[in-house]
Chains A and B, each alone.
Chain A
Amino acid sequence: MKKLFSLALMLAATAAAPAHASLKVFACEPEWASLLQELAGDKIAVDVGTSALQDVHQIEAKPSLIAKVRRADLVVCTGADLEVGWLPQLLRQAANPKVMSGTGNFMAANAITTLEKPTKLDRAAGDVHPQGNPHFQMDPYRMLAIAKALSARLAQLDAANTAVYQQRLGDFSTRWSSAIKRWEVKAAPLRGSKIIVQHASWIYLEHWLGLERIGALEPKPGVPPTSGHLASLIGVAKSGKTLAIVRAAYQDPKSSQWLSERTGVPAVVLPLTVGGDAQSKDLFGLFDSTIDKLLSAAK
């Protein structure tokens, strides 16, 4: 409850509109709201569409969401079909030509290359995204590339503040790059660790930190586990030294706890985005918390 309250406070703080903000921005997910905060400070007013305790693949329609998109100058979302279940309808209902496409429509996926882009589309492979895995907020290098593209977009929309955006981007890049070095040193002992994941949300983190995914609770993305699959996972988890069974803060704990109880491998909850736990108050906290939690599972 306390956690929820502080989360609500934090969201309220990010959503509070500074009086002299020159751009109104709608961010689909909290990580982009946090990045926008770093890049623009009080030059913009940010509304966030979802929270870390929500499955962003699907959200409930509320009138306020449509109102927020309607008044926005810029919409910042993940893209790569992550929000395909609701963003197209939301944009259509808001009928705001500024953000339907073009400069007012920023999809982070377009600033980077995604992993797991299927070479051919096959329904049998599961709930796969044809544009690749969209959970790339957990790669700090891609985050930096997105920051650069987003900063340029802000300057394009609000030329009067270009100098501010450039200065803030420079400042963020410096702090972020030194944080990456710090995280990489700290997470070095995790290299080669084996993890079992709930949903394929961690591929970028795995690549960055050199974690090895030896299994997933969902046999295919978006498909609930069958009993045969769970039985084989017990064998997989016990076969080697498995570090953790990883799930995101919003996911139901049942299946990962079930596997943890039967194998003794700890179930670890990672924030996945800003606001996913008490420590993840911004992007820096998000990565600090993620690495701390994985390290404490290793002890």
Chain B
Amino acid sequence: MSLELNWDGLDISILGPACLAGLIVLSTHVPLGKQVLSRGIIFIDLAIAQIAALGVIIAHYFGVDEQSFGVQIAAAAAALAGAGLLAWTDKRWPEYQEPLIGTLFVLAATGALLLLANNPQGGEHLKDLLVGQILWVSYSQLIPAAILSVFLLAFMWLRQGRLTGLLFYALFALAITVSVQLVGVYLVFASLIVPALATAGMTGKGRLSAAYAIGALGYASGLVLSAVLDLPSGALIVWTLAACALLAQLVPAVRRSHPAQS
């Protein structure tokens, strides 16, 4: 890897849509991440994303056109069904929720492999669903994602953040189905967990603002660095998110309230 700096890619028309996509994803994922963390179900986004992908592959089986809106419906329906199942297991066996999520994840992932054994072109859709590339995002693609995010945020605000089992899982499924296709599974995971984790010790409104700031800084610095260092954007943003989360610990208001420090 050469460390030659590259200023060509540092262009707002190249990085702008990606940055906006990141902010849209963050808008819903930061508050949801807080819940994921407090419920201790860290890998739920991976499971839901895999189930959404499985839904697309099954839709393929029944001849749904690959470019059509039907694919989105299939992904959302599968994600909602998976969320329903997880909401039920959460009620039935709360102590086993995390291992159940893990099991569902590997079942969905390997189920896709088994179905794809005879349908290799579905593999491309599986990949599109799981490793969405943030740089390929266009503004027109962001409109439906932004509208859905506004709805989800309004809903969460109306409920004052109190999301009971089924509601939480349903909202989560819809948010993940959209965000995974925009930015990919790694970034979705990082957007959910990293800002929430970095601010775990904080309480009240300050926590949400701090988490948003860490997330936004992570995306912006990751995009700029990926242009300058000529590295893949998605992977680098995961690292800058983590770096911003670590740097935030230098701020007394963030650090002081950590349980480990008190």
Contact = CB atoms under 8 A, between A and B. Distances in A.
A89 to B, nearest CB: 4
A92 B116 CA distance: 29
* Category for how many chain B residues contact A: 20 to 34
A86 B233 CA distance: 15
A226 B113 CA distance: 12
Given A68-B8, A92-B138, A93-B136, A63 B120 contact: no
A44 B135 CA distance: 28
Contacts of B123: 127, 222
Given A61-B232, A68-B8, A89 B120 contact: no
A287 B223 CA distance: 40
Contacts, number: 81
B10 A89 contact: no
B14 A67 contact: yes
B15 interface: yes
B55 to A, nearest CB: 18
Given A127-B121, A222-B123, A60 B136 contact: no
B233 A63 contact: yes
Interface string B1-27: 010001011110111010000000000
B120 A220 contact: yes
A93 B120 contact: no
Given A61-B232, A61-B233, A66 B135 contact: yes
A118 to B, nearest CB: 13
Interface string A18-59: 000000000000000000000000000000000000000010
A63 B237 CA distance: 13
B223 A63 contact: yes
B9 A67 contact: yes
Contacts of A67: 8-9, 11, 14, 227
A124 to B, nearest CB: 7
Nearest to B15: A63
Given A93-B138, A127-B120, A61 B234 contact: yes
A89 B124 contact: no
Contacts of A89: 133, 136
Nearest to A71: B8
A64 B124 contact: no
Interface string A101-125: 0000000000000000000000110
Nearest to A57: B124
A58 B233 CA distance: 15
A223 B117 contact: yes
B68 interface: no
B117 A63 contact: no
Interface string A215-227: 0000011110010
A62 interface: yes
A62 B135 contact: yes
Nearest to A8: B2
A17 to B, nearest CB: 12
29 contacts: A8-B2, A12-B2, A60-B234, A61-B134, A61-B136, A62-B226, A62-B232, A63-B226, A63-B233, A64-B9, A64-B230, A66-B11, A66-B14, A67-B8, A67-B9, A67-B14, A68-B8, A89-B133, A89-B136, A92-B138, A93-B17, A93-B138, A123-B120, A127-B120, A127-B123, A222-B120, A223-B117, A223-B120, A226-B117
Interface of B: 2, 6, 8-11, 13-15, 17, 116-121, 123-124, 127, 133-136, 138, 223, 226-227, 230-235
Given A89-B133, A123-B120, 10 more contacts: A61-B135, A61-B136, A62-B9, A64-B8, A67-B14, A70-B14, A71-B8, A92-B136, A95-B13, A222-B123
Q: Which 3 pairs from chain A and chain B are nearest by CB?
A: A63-B9, A61-B135, A67-B8
